[in-house]
Amino acid sequence: MITFLSGGTGTPKLIQGFRDIIPDNQISIIANSADDIRIYGLYVSPDIDTIIYLLCNILDTEKFWGIKGDTFHTLEFLGNLGYETWFKIGDKDFSTHIFRTDQIKKGKKLSEITEKIRSNLKIKSRIFPSSDTHIETRIITSVGDDIHFQEFWVKGRGEIEIDKVYIKNIRDAKTPKMALQSIDDDQYVIIGPSNPITSIGPIINLKQIKSKLVKNRQRVIAISPIIGNSPISGPTARLMKTEGYVVSPVEIAKMYQDVCDTFIIDISDKELINPIERETGLTVLTANILFKDTTVAKDLATMILNKGKSL
């Protein structure tokens, strides 16, 4: 069994590659829940849903959110009713959020609801939210507004000037037991190539997850979401700079050095092997980590599985 720590784009691309070589029932995913947002009266968990749709083979893999071929009539009519409709949800996609919200109203935890969705949709992998407590990535803008990450990234198209990023409620947040158990039990744990500030940060900085990773760190492998001086997609660079980080695989290695043992960077960054090993003590491997198609992800998955045999 392999456990992945995942956001909603980079790591799901890697998981696609693993699915080509190992059965779904050998995969566990701890998905970031700090992107969660209450909108249109519903509770939406974007990263968990991307993982659910990926494992049902219905994910729109052009955008890495939503369901392939979905329509947007409900959203359009919500607009007619006066809602702002910047957060795009397709008609089928709405069903997942209606189900989740209804279950929350019935007193169920996010992990219980995710498990129900998983089993109702006959997904064989295990999926855990990183937190059962509602946690939320918030942005302080340069004019002092405190806004949800989705308002910065989706509504504001990442163009708003910002001063700070923080994760609301993270200090005492509770991780589902089964997620912690999978870190203890699985052959190894992969910190996927996801946004270090908004996807991986809110997972590895959860107290209970951090202590499990530290304890099992010789079985934890991380993959850089950055090649050269830039991320492949999303607001990673902008957010890292805001938080005072240099945008480079070296910095990512420093951020993860307490919670992993092996760090994989792109072949084109091979001159960074020595500096990273010297500064962090991690074992650094190189591979092609730009997933232009699933073959690249599959090759990386094969390399990791082969390495896994020696862990």
Residues forming contacts to ligand GDP in the complex (CB under 6 A) are 7-11, 13, 35, 47, 193-195, 198-199, 223-225, 231-234, 236, 289-291
Which CB atom, from 73 or from 271, has the smaller least distance to ligand GDP?
Answer: 271
Query: In terms of CB distance, is 78 or 160 closer to ligand GDP?
Result: 160
d(CA 2, CA 11): 13
CB of 231 to ligand GDP, least distance (A): 3
Show the tokens assigned to 201: 């940060």
Q: Which is nearer to ligand GDP, 31 or 180 (CB)?
A: 31
What's the closest the beta carbon of residue 226 comes to ligand GDP, in angstroms? 6
Q: Which CB atom, from 8 or from 176, has the smaller least distance to ligand GDP?
A: 8
Give the nearest distance from C-beta 289 to ligand GDP in angstroms: 4
Q: Which CB, 90 or 231, lies closer to ligand GDP?
A: 231
Residue 90 C-beta: closest distance to ligand GDP, Å: 16
Amino acid at site 79: G
Least separation in angstroms between CB 98 and ligand GDP: 22
Cβ closest to ligand GDP, residue 175 vs residue 224: 224
Tokens standing for 32? 């970031």
CA distance linking residue 311 with residue 305, whole number of Å: 10
Give me the least distance between CB of 102 and ligand GDP, in Å please: 25
Q: Report the alpha-carbon distance of residue 84 to residue 161 in Å, rounded.
A: 22
Nearer to ligand GDP, 10 or 176 (CB): 10
Closest C-alpha to 300, from 100, 24, 15, 104: 15
CB of 295 vs ligand GDP, minimal distance in Å: 12
